Structure 1
């Protein structure tokens, strides 16, 4: 069928067959469509020029934010000295950008990017550097969430912990008086994030392979729900107390986001092969528990992800009072299709998406 189509429709059909439009990263699709629009017989040159101008103006803002964030990252990296933590500040910003790219969300993007980077540093500590005892000490300190808890930690984690606490205080200072109530929700979400990582660390150090459902219940709460709460902190009127309670409760669309995030990550990890720091993936747990081949596990887990997408769509219809928050959570879910396209992990191996990053943030669209 595609061979009978003219350009640019043929290219658009090809992309849609690879990934349905509702699951496509909108800003990347915008870039593709702008480059193709001129080839449409009925195109309007004025609309095309305005679209290019709009994208380039926003790109300048995004590049400035990325520069400011990079300076913040350099300062915090030098201060805390966690040399084992990977430099992924561009990827952290991209994740935030995928959630909300619009001009009015500068504050939200910057806060969310910083939280994601702190989550990544915490994740690297649990997964790569800390002993099991140090993992327990770090989680205990995070559960207490007070500067005096720094005495619980080994010396190499003390500066990081103090910086974690002070950064969240800085977020509170950035918010208006009637918005400050949001920060305790984000700290609670970070505490849940930490406790789930501790459970995974215990499994790893004990070489324990959990049952599939046990693995899922822990691992889906290890990142995405925290992100779903924290993305709301810097937003405007969307971040109501009702929306924050909903996000922290990890129900419907938030849980669906967590399921898609976890399974997309695990499918990619299984395809690539484990390294020595990896816990057992949900794919391995499913294969071990059900005694099936990997292709069967992939198919069944894929079916679970499809159910999660249905849950996301259902939440949009059933929760109109918090629809703007649901849509931002859905954007995170959609972003997983970008990060793990073709079962590749572009968040860890960002060279895969270097060209896309340049198109989004560095290279303006030529006129």
Structure 2
């Protein structure tokens, strides 16, 4: 696209954004339009363009919460509840008791309303521990939606709605990566008779605009990576730059985080090299030297390292010193120092695992979690992701991440458990025992029993994340969302298999859709 064409597209996008802004503000001032306003907000979010209207959406949610509190009396209670909780407003779930009969069961009359059932299903995933009314709602709606997909004609469901329900059963909105959700929601929205044409056009143009930015970033990162000549100089390391960039795009896709995303991709690529060095290549004695070098974090340590460790060490140091220089020009070099501390902590945990492997030691579950919830790298990734995110990030933000807060612990637990479940059967070489084996040994139960318990634990951790998200008003929303996105990446890549390791057709389609195939406008 020429610069002239690009400028024209930018103008059209700005004009469409202005049109949508006016629509939001007009509906905000008219109480009779508040139900339609929430539907519009839902569409804006699902179409992947919420970041274009951050101020307007904040205004909407604050106004709705101020006017109605816990007593929403507009249209769909479920939609209102989910949207408000997603925005950090801890509205009460007691409002759903009106859907129950005298015996505490959800009313059979609800079954006829397919859209209502779907909305209640999505709302139920916003539950926190102890909200029985939502646990019941989830069990009830899941069963009904499964029945609908078995015989959609009986429920007057179009193919489009039936497919939409199947996708919801596969992965609720709470667990979806926003960029991939937009990819699916845009064509679904287009098929709806009453869709907003301006909104649809904006979503498509913006999708393509972001795709162009992401392609440029990936091209820049590929040049950086190829400069190390990995096949010859890092022969034991898998080349996974595209997959790692995809992962980080899941953490944040918005244009304002471009610099953060470039740094995070380099940092995570460095972490992946460390992981493979500790996990499958270095000897115990070599890893001890490597760990000490990482703790010292000095270019002078290169001389004491075995030859094959020199380049990984240099890549790590250079990646962080480059960003330190950039952030130093803004007086924020301290941000990179916190990210370095997270890498040092990560290497200590990698070393602890190497020691277990070296000594054939089977840790207790408590010991295992204290190390592996950090060695899954989510503390390091979260801390590094905050670098260069703008004024929302303070020194307190980094201290919070490094203190292993509950929100990050839960995201790490989801990471570790899902990884261990799919990886357990594939382990052949000498390895650190997984949490599956630890639990089996400690509690004398079968593999299948552990899978059931662990899958339930993952669901409980999502509840815990919801609770922390709603409870911690002192942490900026944008930082809390990073934790959720990290958990969402895991759900997408590790739900049934290790999609990073076994790159199949589904993952390849995601790559093509996000980086190659332009959306027709």
1:349/1:277 CA distance change after superposition, 3 Å: farther
Partner of residue 217 from structure 1, selected from 370, 374, 389: 370
Aligned to 1:320, the other structure's residue is in SS state coil
Question: Could you say which residue in structure 1 is the equivalent of 2:247?
Answer: 95
> Any idea what the Cα deviations from partners look like across 1:90-143, whole Å, max 9, x if unmatched?
111111111110111110100000000000000010111100011111101001
Aligned to 1:220, the other structure's residue is in SS state helix
1:254/1:103 CA distance change after superposition, 3 Å: same
State the distance in 2 between where 1:349 and 1:229 align: 28
State the distance in 2 between where 1:67 and 1:17 align: 36
Alignment of 1:44-123 (within 5 A): 44-78=196-230, 81-123=233-275
State the distance in 2 between where 1:126 and 1:253 align: 27
Partner of residue 257 from structure 1, selected from 408, 411, 414: 411
Partner of residue 423 from structure 2, selected from 269, 272, 275: 269
> Any idea what the Cα deviations from partners look like across 1:33-72, whole Å, max 9, x if unmatched?
1122222121233332221111011100001100111111
State the distance in 1 between where 2:473 and 2:229 align: 41
- TM-score, reference length from structure 1: 0.95
- Residue 501 of structure 2 corresponds to residue 358 of structure 1: no
Question: Could you say which residue in structure 2 is the equivalent of 1:238?
Answer: 392
**Would you say the 8 A contact 1:212–1:285 is kept in 2?**
yes
Question: Could you say which residue in structure 2 is the equivalent of 1:306?
Answer: 459
Aligned to 1:8, the other structure's residue is in SS state helix
State the distance in 2 between where 1:163 and 1:347 align: 22
Aligned to 1:177, the other structure's residue is in SS state coil
Question: Could you say which residue in structure 1 is the equivalent of 2:70?
Answer: none
State the distance in 2 between where 1:161 and 1:37 align: 48
> 1:289: how far off?
1.4
**Would you say the 8 A contact 1:112–1:230 is kept in 2?**
yes
Q: How many residues are aligned here? A: 365
> Any idea what the Cα deviations from partners look like across 1:198-251, whole Å, max 9, x if unmatched?
111111222222222211111110111111111101211222111110101111
State the distance in 1 between where 2:311 and 2:218 align: 24
Deviates more, 1:189-198 or 1:309-318: 309-318
User: For the pair shown, which has the larger CA radius of gyration, 1 or 2?
Assistant: 2
For the aligned residue pairs, the C-alpha RMSD in angstroms reads 1.6
- TM-score, reference length from structure 2: 0.68
State the distance in 2 between where 1:335 and 1:21 align: 13
**Would you say the 8 A contact 1:108–1:233 is kept in 2?**
yes
Question: Could you say which residue in structure 1 is the equivalent of 2:288?
Answer: 136
Question: Could you say which residue in structure 2 is the equivalent of 1:321?
Answer: 474
> 1:168: how far off?
0.8
**Would you say the 8 A contact 1:209–1:280 is kept in 2?**
yes
- Residue 323 of structure 2 corresponds to residue 171 of structure 1: yes
Give the number of the structure with larger relative contact order, counting CA–CA contacts within 8 Å between residues 6 or more apart: 1
- Residue 478 of structure 2 corresponds to residue 330 of structure 1: no
> Any idea what the Cα deviations from partners look like across 1:311-356, whole Å, max 9, x if unmatched?
21122122222132111111111111111122x1112223350111
Deviates more, 1:253-262 or 1:291-300: 291-300
State the distance in 2 between where 1:93 and 1:258 align: 19
- Residue 390 of structure 2 corresponds to residue 226 of structure 1: no
Question: Could you say which residue in structure 1 is the equivalent of 2:309?
Answer: 157
State the distance in 1 between where 2:318 and 2:206 align: 37
> 1:178: how far off?
2.4
- Residue 336 of structure 2 corresponds to residue 186 of structure 1: no
State the distance in 2 between where 1:259 and 1:14 align: 27
Aligned to 1:359, the other structure's residue is in SS state helix
Aligned to 1:196, the other structure's residue is in SS state helix
> 1:81: how far off?
1.4
1:115/1:77 CA distance change after superposition, 3 Å: farther
State the distance in 2 between where 1:236 and 1:354 align: 33
State the distance in 2 between where 1:275 and 1:224 align: 25
State the distance in 2 between where 1:101 and 1:277 align: 38
